[in-house]
Amino acid sequence: MPKPTVPRKRISKSSGITPSKSETTRILKPAKRQALKPSTWRHPKPVYASLSKARHIFAKSIRTSWESKKTIGGITLIYGLATILLVRGVLSNSNFTTLKNLLDSAFTGAGGKIASTLLQVTALFGNSNTITTTEGGIYQVIILILCSLAIIWVFRQLHAKKEASTKAAFYEGMYPLIPFLLVVVVVSIQLLPLISASYIYKALIANGVAVLWQEKFATYVVVALLSFWSLKMLTSSLFAFYIVTLPGMTPLKALRSARNLVTGRRLLIWRKLLFLPLVLLFASTIIILPFLLFLTPVVVWIFSILTILWFTVSHGYLYALYRELIKDA
């Protein structure tokens, strides 16, 4: 026989009697409905904490590098010497002096002086990656990979509050060389759409093959889509270079982790990444201008030193941005 139900006692608040747990009924509030976009029905968009401003990340990277300026300076010096001796060779100032004289004679007056100076600065930046030897391209890749592994190891040690030296960076920092190279191969493949876009632009637009506005519009759309495809893939793979240096990390796992790290905030990351070249361009121009106006014979050497420093500053900023991304991941 079923047990008879016993009605609950109603206890008024004025009686002063506290109801027991068996006599109280917990009422849950109805859940609020949250509208999701169709693109997030299968995979909801993750929620991240807000990132620091780009200038704060840049300042943090400079402070971190300054904490171990001796070690960071040693790696930068090795990178600079190897680049000058094996890639660019000993730079000559005669070509730039000739260009400066031609521009100064072609542009006269106050406005002409400003135009001449801007063209000289543009020529310096345009020739910043000039390779003077046949084997220079191969040497440049080798130097860039080895010094990148060394400086990433130093930044990781500094973040862990451990001591780091230049010698230890080139010994202990080389262990993830093979996984790092495999990520380089993947990044090279991801660059193919961008290379194809450049080829299509030169073949159809630069050579004047596309004449009608419909042809030009279609070409621009294809170039933009291919470039966007490469940029989207490279945004995550850029941070895979830092993830793959972790102990026991495989290239595929690093690429997958980097993709999850940037999901839903690529536009924000693009803004942070765009900040770096703008700062380097502005700072280098400010430093170069006095030498360009008053000490022309040394301007090429000063600019070469600045381009070598770009390597260290770029790695410091990118590693600081990487730490900022994983702090709430």
Write out the two tokens for 134. 């046949």
Give, as one character, the DSSP assignment of residue 133: S
> DSSP class of residue 26?
-
Identify which of 129, 130, 133 has the alpha carbon closest to the alpha carbon of residue 86. 133
Three-state helix/strand/coil letters over 37-84: CHHHCCCCCCCCCCCCCHHHHHHHHHHHHHHCHHHHHHHHHHHHHHHH
Contacts of residues 129-135 at CB distance under 8 Å and 24 or more positions apart, as own/partner, are 130/88, 131/87, 131/88, 132/87, 132/88, 132/89, 133/86, 133/87, 133/89, 135/86
Assigned domain for 19 exists: no
Q: What CA–CA distance (Å, rounded) separates 243 from 246?
A: 6
pLDDT tens digits, residue range 124-155?
776 666 665 667 778 888 999 999 999 999 99
Q: What is the pLDDT of residue 5?
A: 53
Question: Distance between CA atoms of 253 and 244, rounded to whole angstroms?
Answer: 8
Q: Cβ neighbours of residue 177 under 8 Å, at least 6 residues apart?
A: 145, 149
Q: What is the count of structural domains for the chain?
A: 1
pLDDT at 73: 93
Helices 213-243, 266-294: axis angle to 10 degrees equals: 90
Q: What is the pLDDT of residue 208?
A: 79
Is residue 113 one of the residues assigned to a domain? yes
Contact 143/86 with Cβ under 8 angstroms?
yes
Largest separation between any pair of C-alpha atoms in the chain: 113
SS (H, E, C) 268-289: HHHHHHHHHHHHHHHHHHHHHH
pLDDT for the residue 101: 65
Could you tell me if residue 3 is inside a domain? no
**Cα 261 from Cα 259, distance rounded (Å):** 5
Domain range for residue 185? 52-326
Q: Which helix or strand (DSSP H or E) is residue 110 part of? A: helix 109-126
Tell me, yes or no, whether 12 lies in a domain. no
Instruction: List per-residue pLDDT tens for the chain, 329 residues long.
Output: 555 555 554 544 444 555 554 555 555 555 455 555 555 555 555 666 678 888 999 999 999 899 889 999 999 999 999 988 887 765 556 566 666 667 666 676 666 667 777 776 777 776 666 665 667 778 888 999 999 999 999 999 998 888 889 999 999 999 899 999 999 999 999 999 999 999 998 888 878 777 788 888 999 999 999 999 999 999 999 999 999 999 889 999 999 999 999 988 889 999 999 999 999 989 988 888 888 777 777 787 888 888 899 999 999 999 999 999 887 65
Note the pLDDT of residue 212. Answer: 82
Domain presence at residue 164: yes
Residue 139 lies in a domain: yes
Backbone Cα Rg of the chain: 29
Q: Is residue 218 part of a domain?
A: yes
